[in-house]
């Protein structure tokens, strides 16, 4: 009888200790929280700015894109119109890394490391028609801007999906922002949804219709045609 009582007492003590044993062994029932990747501050010895250095100046505020509904399209003067999901656009094309500087007409600039896919790779699949001379970029919030087709191809412009090693936050244009090197910041369209090939050399985007230069080059005044 005494042996049975000692056995039951030992079992009770063991059961009461199980929660603490689980916690010590890492078997707690609470799920581990996913940690965000740290933003890079330096790349190959070059100091980088921060994503927090950008000022919010979009026409409708940050856009929170529903990625399940999102599609990246290549349309207009092409023989093979294309539609990609976010994952397909990235996984089916080679990605590139480069340190670039964004210059805003407000007088500030930020040096960042961008990772993205080149637009020429998308256009090669779309098979551009000979009459195309302009690319009109459309955004989730209705914003548009345009660039000459030759400029985009000759300068290997691309769509960024990461900056400083982390996925673009909504404020920076998730899922994709155009990296328009050599151009003022209003040409760096965020939340890109549609790459439209056109022959309309007189097309004017949002800020261009307000008097900003359609050329948008850093070595030229940004205001005036």
Question: Considering Cα of 61, then 67, then 68, then 70, what sign does the dihedral take?
Answer: positive
Report pLDDT for 109. 94
By CB neighbour count within 10 A (0-12 exposed, 13-18 middle, 19+ buried), where does 30 fall? exposed
Lowest mean pLDDT among 37-46, 70-79, 81-90: 37-46
Number of domains in the chain: 1
Residue 220 belongs to some domain of the structure: no
Q: Is residue 124 one of the residues assigned to a domain? A: yes
The whole-angstrom separation of Cα 24 and Cα 204 is: 63
Return mean pLDDT, the chain.
86
Q: Are 114 and 156 in contact (CB under 8 A)?
A: no
Check whether 7 has a pLDDT greater than 70: no
Q: What is the pLDDT of residue 29?
A: 33
Q: Which residue in 207, 115, 102 sits closest to 167, CA to CA?
A: 115
How confident is the model over 170-205, as pLDDT tens digits?
999 999 999 999 999 999 999 999 999 999 999 999
In a domain, 225, yes or no: no
Residue 206 lies in a domain: yes
pLDDT of residue 27: 31
12 domain-assigned? no
Which pLDDT value is given to residue 37? 67
Residue 135 pLDDT level (bands cut at 50, 70, 90):
very high
Return the CATH number at 182. 3.90.420.10
pLDDT at 223: 79
Dist CA 218 CA 26 (whole Å) = 55
Residue 100 falls within a domain, yes or no?
A: yes
Q: At CB < 8 A and 24+ separation, what contacts does 33-36 make?
A: 36/166
Answer yes or no: is 173 within a domain: yes
Is residue 65 predicted with pLDDT exceeding 60? yes
pTM of the model as a whole: 0.81
> Which residues are registered as beta bridge partners of 112?
100
For residue 31, tell me if it sits in a domain. no
In DSSP terms, which residues pair with 114 in a beta bridge? 98, 163
pLDDT tens column, 97-113: 999 999 999 989 999 99
State which residues form the domain around 205.
42-210
Asked if residue 20 has pLDDT above 70, the reply is no
pLDDT at residue 221 in the model = 80
Residue 121 reports pLDDT greater than 70: yes
- Higher-pLDDT residue of 222, 77: 77
Distance CA 8, CA 176 (A): 64
pLDDT digits (tens, 9 = 90+) for 39-61: 999 999 999 999 889 988 889 99
Which residue is it, tokens 């290997």?
156
């Amino acid at each position: 009888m005494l042996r049975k009582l000692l056995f039951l007492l030992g079992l009770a003590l063991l059961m009461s200790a199980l929660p603490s044993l689980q916690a010590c062994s890492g078997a707690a029932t609470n799920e581990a929280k996913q940690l965000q990747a740290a933003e890079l501050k330096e790349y190959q010895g070059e100091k980088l700015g921060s994503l927090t250095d950008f000022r919010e100046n979009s026409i409708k505020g940050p856009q929170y894109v529903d990625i399940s509904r999102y599609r990246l399209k290549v349309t207009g003067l092409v023989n093979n119109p294309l539609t990609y999901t976010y994952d397909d656009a990235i996984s089916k094309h080679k990605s590139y890394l480069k340190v670039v500087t964004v210059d805003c007409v407000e007088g500030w600039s930020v040096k960042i490391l961008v990772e993205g896919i080149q637009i020429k790779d998308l256009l090669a699949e779309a098979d551009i028609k000979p009459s195309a001379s302009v690319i009109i970029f459309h955004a989730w919030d209705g914003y548009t801007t345009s660039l000459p087709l030759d400029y985009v191809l000759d300068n290997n412009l691309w769509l960024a999906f990461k900056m400083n090693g982390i996925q673009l936050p909504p404020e920076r244009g998730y899922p994709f922002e155009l990296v328009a090197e050599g151009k003022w910041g209003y040409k760096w369209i965020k939340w890109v949804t549609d790459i439209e090939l056109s022959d309309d050399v007189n097309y004017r985007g949002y800020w261009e219709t307000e008097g900003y230069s359609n050329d948008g080059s850093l070595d030229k005044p940004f205001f005036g045609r």
